[in-house]
Amino acid sequence: MKGVSNGITTLNSAVLSSLRSAVVSGELLPGSLHSVHALAAELGVSRTPVREALIKMAEQGMVRFERNRGVRILQTTVHDLEEVFELRLLLEVPATRRACEKFDAAGLKELRRQFAAMERAARDGDEVRMWEHDRRFHRTILEATGNKRLAEFIDGMRDMVVKRGVSTAESSRTMLDIVAEHLGVLERLEARDPEGAADAMCAHIQTTSELLLAQEAGDGVDVDLGWTTSAWESRNPVSGVDG
Protein backbone atom coordinates (compact mmCIF):
# COMPACT_ATOMS: atom_id res chain seq x y z
CA MET A 1 0.00 0.00 0.00
CA LYS A 2 1.10 3.53 -0.69
CA GLY A 3 1.46 5.99 2.14
CA VAL A 4 -1.25 8.60 2.60
CA SER A 5 -0.95 12.32 3.11
CA ASN A 6 -3.27 14.85 4.66
CA GLY A 7 -4.32 16.74 1.54
CA ILE A 8 -7.72 17.81 0.32
CA THR A 9 -9.48 14.94 2.05
CA THR A 10 -9.16 14.33 5.75
CA LEU A 11 -6.55 11.89 6.98
CA ASN A 12 -9.23 9.49 8.19
CA SER A 13 -10.92 9.44 4.78
CA ALA A 14 -7.59 8.92 3.02
CA VAL A 15 -6.69 5.99 5.27
CA LEU A 16 -10.13 4.41 4.81
CA SER A 17 -9.89 4.81 1.03
CA SER A 18 -6.41 3.30 0.94
CA LEU A 19 -7.36 0.28 3.05
CA ARG A 20 -10.56 -0.32 1.09
CA SER A 21 -8.66 -0.19 -2.19
CA ALA A 22 -6.07 -2.65 -0.88
CA VAL A 23 -8.80 -5.12 0.09
CA VAL A 24 -10.84 -4.69 -3.09
CA SER A 25 -7.78 -5.04 -5.34
CA GLY A 26 -6.61 -8.16 -3.51
CA GLU A 27 -3.43 -6.53 -2.24
CA LEU A 28 -4.67 -7.54 1.21
CA LEU A 29 -5.73 -11.12 0.55
CA PRO A 30 -8.93 -12.70 1.94
CA GLY A 31 -8.08 -14.72 5.04
CA SER A 32 -4.87 -12.84 5.75
CA LEU A 33 -4.23 -11.46 9.24
CA HIS A 34 -2.76 -8.01 9.89
CA SER A 35 -1.90 -5.90 12.91
CA VAL A 36 -3.08 -2.32 13.22
CA HIS A 37 0.50 -1.33 14.02
CA ALA A 38 1.89 -2.89 10.81
CA LEU A 39 -0.81 -1.35 8.62
CA ALA A 40 -0.24 2.06 10.19
CA ALA A 41 3.51 1.77 9.60
CA GLU A 42 2.97 0.80 5.97
CA LEU A 43 0.68 3.79 5.42
CA GLY A 44 2.96 6.11 7.36
CA VAL A 45 0.30 7.24 9.83
CA SER A 46 -0.56 6.72 13.48
CA ARG A 47 -2.65 3.76 14.62
CA THR A 48 -5.74 5.85 15.47
CA PRO A 49 -6.99 6.60 11.91
CA VAL A 50 -6.16 3.03 10.86
CA ARG A 51 -8.16 1.59 13.77
CA GLU A 52 -11.11 3.90 13.01
CA ALA A 53 -11.04 2.93 9.32
CA LEU A 54 -10.95 -0.77 10.18
CA ILE A 55 -13.92 -0.38 12.53
CA LYS A 56 -15.94 1.06 9.63
CA MET A 57 -14.78 -1.75 7.35
CA ALA A 58 -15.75 -4.31 10.00
CA GLU A 59 -19.25 -2.81 10.11
CA GLN A 60 -19.44 -3.38 6.34
CA GLY A 61 -18.26 -6.98 6.61
CA MET A 62 -14.91 -6.44 4.92
CA VAL A 63 -12.71 -7.31 7.91
CA ARG A 64 -13.05 -8.93 11.34
CA PHE A 65 -11.19 -8.06 14.54
CA GLU A 66 -9.73 -11.10 16.32
CA ARG A 67 -8.81 -10.68 19.96
CA ASN A 68 -5.05 -10.51 20.58
CA ARG A 69 -4.38 -11.41 16.95
CA GLY A 70 -5.24 -8.42 14.79
CA VAL A 71 -7.68 -7.93 11.95
CA ARG A 72 -8.56 -10.55 9.34
CA ILE A 73 -9.56 -9.77 5.75
CA LEU A 74 -12.86 -11.50 4.98
CA GLN A 75 -13.98 -13.20 1.78
CA THR A 76 -17.32 -12.07 0.38
CA THR A 77 -19.81 -14.96 0.39
CA VAL A 78 -22.91 -15.50 -1.74
CA HIS A 79 -24.99 -14.67 1.33
CA ASP A 80 -23.06 -11.40 1.66
CA LEU A 81 -23.95 -10.58 -1.95
CA GLU A 82 -27.61 -11.29 -1.25
CA GLU A 83 -27.56 -8.93 1.74
CA VAL A 84 -25.81 -6.23 -0.32
CA PHE A 85 -28.52 -6.28 -2.97
CA GLU A 86 -31.27 -6.35 -0.35
CA LEU A 87 -29.82 -3.17 1.15
CA ARG A 88 -29.36 -1.54 -2.24
CA LEU A 89 -33.00 -2.19 -3.13
CA LEU A 90 -34.21 -0.92 0.22
CA LEU A 91 -32.10 2.26 0.05
CA GLU A 92 -31.32 3.17 -3.56
CA VAL A 93 -34.84 2.89 -4.92
CA PRO A 94 -36.45 5.47 -2.58
CA ALA A 95 -33.21 7.50 -2.76
CA THR A 96 -33.64 7.74 -6.53
CA ARG A 97 -37.16 9.07 -6.04
CA ARG A 98 -35.84 11.64 -3.56
CA ALA A 99 -32.95 12.62 -5.86
CA CYS A 100 -35.36 13.24 -8.72
CA GLU A 101 -37.16 15.79 -6.57
CA LYS A 102 -33.90 17.55 -5.59
CA PHE A 103 -31.69 17.39 -8.71
CA ASP A 104 -30.69 20.77 -10.12
CA ALA A 105 -29.58 21.39 -13.71
CA ALA A 106 -25.88 21.03 -12.84
CA GLY A 107 -26.49 17.69 -11.13
CA LEU A 108 -28.40 16.31 -14.10
CA LYS A 109 -25.66 17.54 -16.43
CA GLU A 110 -23.06 15.66 -14.37
CA LEU A 111 -25.24 12.54 -14.41
CA ARG A 112 -25.53 12.74 -18.21
CA ARG A 113 -21.73 13.18 -18.40
CA GLN A 114 -21.10 10.06 -16.34
CA PHE A 115 -23.57 8.11 -18.47
CA ALA A 116 -21.84 9.22 -21.69
CA ALA A 117 -18.45 8.20 -20.27
CA MET A 118 -19.89 4.83 -19.23
CA GLU A 119 -21.28 4.28 -22.72
CA ARG A 120 -17.96 5.20 -24.38
CA ALA A 121 -16.11 2.77 -22.14
CA ALA A 122 -18.57 0.00 -22.97
CA ARG A 123 -18.21 0.61 -26.71
CA ASP A 124 -14.42 0.57 -26.28
CA GLY A 125 -14.66 -2.75 -24.43
CA ASP A 126 -13.05 -1.21 -21.33
CA GLU A 127 -14.86 -2.93 -18.45
CA VAL A 128 -12.76 -1.35 -15.69
CA ARG A 129 -13.49 2.17 -16.95
CA MET A 130 -17.16 1.33 -17.47
CA TRP A 131 -17.55 0.19 -13.85
CA GLU A 132 -15.75 3.31 -12.64
CA HIS A 133 -18.33 5.54 -14.34
CA ASP A 134 -21.14 3.20 -13.30
CA ARG A 135 -20.15 3.81 -9.69
CA ARG A 136 -19.93 7.58 -10.23
CA PHE A 137 -23.36 7.54 -11.92
CA HIS A 138 -24.97 5.90 -8.90
CA ARG A 139 -23.05 8.09 -6.46
CA THR A 140 -24.21 11.24 -8.26
CA ILE A 141 -27.80 10.15 -7.71
CA LEU A 142 -27.23 9.32 -4.06
CA GLU A 143 -25.42 12.59 -3.36
CA ALA A 144 -28.33 14.50 -4.89
CA THR A 145 -30.46 13.36 -1.95
CA GLY A 146 -28.25 15.49 0.30
CA ASN A 147 -27.38 12.45 2.43
CA LYS A 148 -23.61 11.94 2.15
CA ARG A 149 -23.63 9.07 4.64
CA LEU A 150 -25.97 7.19 2.33
CA ALA A 151 -23.59 7.62 -0.61
CA GLU A 152 -20.63 6.42 1.49
CA PHE A 153 -22.59 3.44 2.80
CA ILE A 154 -23.67 2.26 -0.65
CA ASP A 155 -20.10 2.69 -1.90
CA GLY A 156 -18.99 0.32 0.85
CA MET A 157 -21.68 -2.17 -0.15
CA ARG A 158 -20.53 -2.06 -3.77
CA ASP A 159 -16.97 -2.77 -2.60
CA MET A 160 -18.24 -6.06 -1.18
CA VAL A 161 -19.22 -7.15 -4.68
CA VAL A 162 -16.02 -5.90 -6.29
CA LYS A 163 -13.96 -7.68 -3.63
CA ARG A 164 -15.42 -11.02 -4.68
CA GLY A 165 -14.12 -10.34 -8.18
CA VAL A 166 -17.37 -11.12 -10.00
CA SER A 167 -19.22 -9.38 -12.79
CA THR A 168 -22.20 -10.04 -15.03
CA ALA A 169 -20.57 -8.13 -17.90
CA GLU A 170 -20.18 -10.44 -20.89
CA SER A 171 -21.00 -13.54 -18.80
CA SER A 172 -24.73 -12.87 -18.32
CA ARG A 173 -25.23 -9.69 -20.37
CA THR A 174 -23.14 -7.33 -22.47
CA MET A 175 -21.65 -4.08 -21.25
CA LEU A 176 -24.02 -2.22 -23.56
CA ASP A 177 -26.96 -4.06 -21.93
CA ILE A 178 -25.81 -2.67 -18.58
CA VAL A 179 -25.48 0.83 -20.03
CA ALA A 180 -29.01 0.60 -21.45
CA GLU A 181 -30.41 -0.11 -17.97
CA HIS A 182 -28.83 3.12 -16.74
CA LEU A 183 -30.32 5.05 -19.66
CA GLY A 184 -33.79 4.22 -18.39
CA VAL A 185 -32.92 5.69 -14.99
CA LEU A 186 -31.33 8.79 -16.53
CA GLU A 187 -34.24 9.54 -18.87
CA ARG A 188 -36.80 9.32 -16.06
CA LEU A 189 -34.69 11.61 -13.86
CA GLU A 190 -34.31 14.14 -16.69
CA ALA A 191 -38.07 13.95 -17.24
CA ARG A 192 -38.59 14.81 -13.55
CA ASP A 193 -40.55 11.58 -13.07
CA PRO A 194 -39.78 10.39 -9.50
CA GLU A 195 -41.86 7.22 -9.67
CA GLY A 196 -40.56 6.27 -13.10
CA ALA A 197 -36.97 6.87 -11.97
CA ALA A 198 -37.46 4.72 -8.86
CA ASP A 199 -39.11 2.07 -11.01
CA ALA A 200 -36.17 2.03 -13.44
CA MET A 201 -33.61 1.87 -10.63
CA CYS A 202 -35.45 -1.01 -9.00
CA ALA A 203 -35.54 -2.95 -12.27
CA HIS A 204 -31.81 -2.30 -12.83
CA ILE A 205 -30.72 -3.46 -9.37
CA GLN A 206 -33.04 -6.47 -9.50
CA THR A 207 -31.66 -7.54 -12.87
CA THR A 208 -28.09 -7.22 -11.63
CA SER A 209 -28.82 -9.10 -8.41
CA GLU A 210 -30.71 -11.94 -10.10
CA LEU A 211 -28.02 -12.51 -12.74
CA LEU A 212 -25.08 -12.21 -10.37
CA LEU A 213 -26.56 -14.34 -7.60
CA ALA A 214 -27.62 -17.05 -10.06
CA GLN A 215 -24.15 -16.96 -11.56
CA GLU A 216 -22.43 -17.26 -8.17
CA ALA A 217 -24.84 -19.48 -6.25
CA GLY A 218 -25.42 -22.11 -8.93
CA ASP A 219 -28.28 -24.59 -8.83
CA GLY A 220 -30.16 -25.40 -5.68
CA VAL A 221 -29.68 -22.10 -3.87
CA ASP A 222 -32.89 -20.24 -3.09
CA VAL A 223 -32.49 -16.48 -3.43
CA ASP A 224 -35.52 -14.26 -2.86
CA LEU A 225 -35.22 -10.47 -2.74
CA GLY A 226 -38.93 -9.87 -3.29
CA TRP A 227 -39.58 -8.66 0.25
CA THR A 228 -37.27 -5.69 -0.31
CA THR A 229 -39.37 -4.15 -3.05
CA SER A 230 -42.65 -4.89 -1.28
CA ALA A 231 -41.31 -3.00 1.74
CA TRP A 232 -41.20 0.31 -0.10
CA GLU A 233 -43.96 -0.41 -2.62
CA SER A 234 -46.42 -0.68 0.26
CA ARG A 235 -45.60 2.92 1.15
CA ASN A 236 -44.99 4.29 -2.34
CA PRO A 237 -46.70 2.12 -4.96
CA VAL A 238 -45.18 2.27 -8.45
CA SER A 239 -46.10 0.51 -11.64
CA GLY A 240 -44.12 -1.81 -13.84
CA VAL A 241 -41.63 -3.11 -11.26
CA ASP A 242 -40.52 -6.68 -11.87
CA GLY A 243 -41.39 -8.75 -8.80
Q: CA-CA distance, 81 to 167, in Å (whole number)? A: 12
With 0-12 / 13-18 / 19 or more C-beta atoms within 10 angstroms meaning exposed / middle / buried, residue 117 is middle
What's the whole-model pTM score?
Answer: 0.74
Which residues make up the CATH 1.20.120.530 domain(s) of the chain? 78-233
Which CATH number among 1.10.10.60, 1.20.120.530, 3.30.70.20, 2.60.220.10 corresponds to the domain 78-233? Answer: 1.20.120.530
Question: pLDDT by residue (tens digit) across 48-105?
Answer: 999 999 999 998 888 999 999 999 998 888 888 889 999 999 999 999 999 999 999 9
Question: pLDDT by residue (tens digit) across 14-30?
Answer: 999 899 888 877 889 88
CATH 3.40.50.450 describes domain 11-73: no
Which residues make up the CATH 1.10.10.10 domain(s) of the chain? 11-73
Q: Are 1 and 40 in contact (CB under 8 A)?
A: no
Q: CA-CA distance, 219 to 213, in Å (whole number)? A: 10
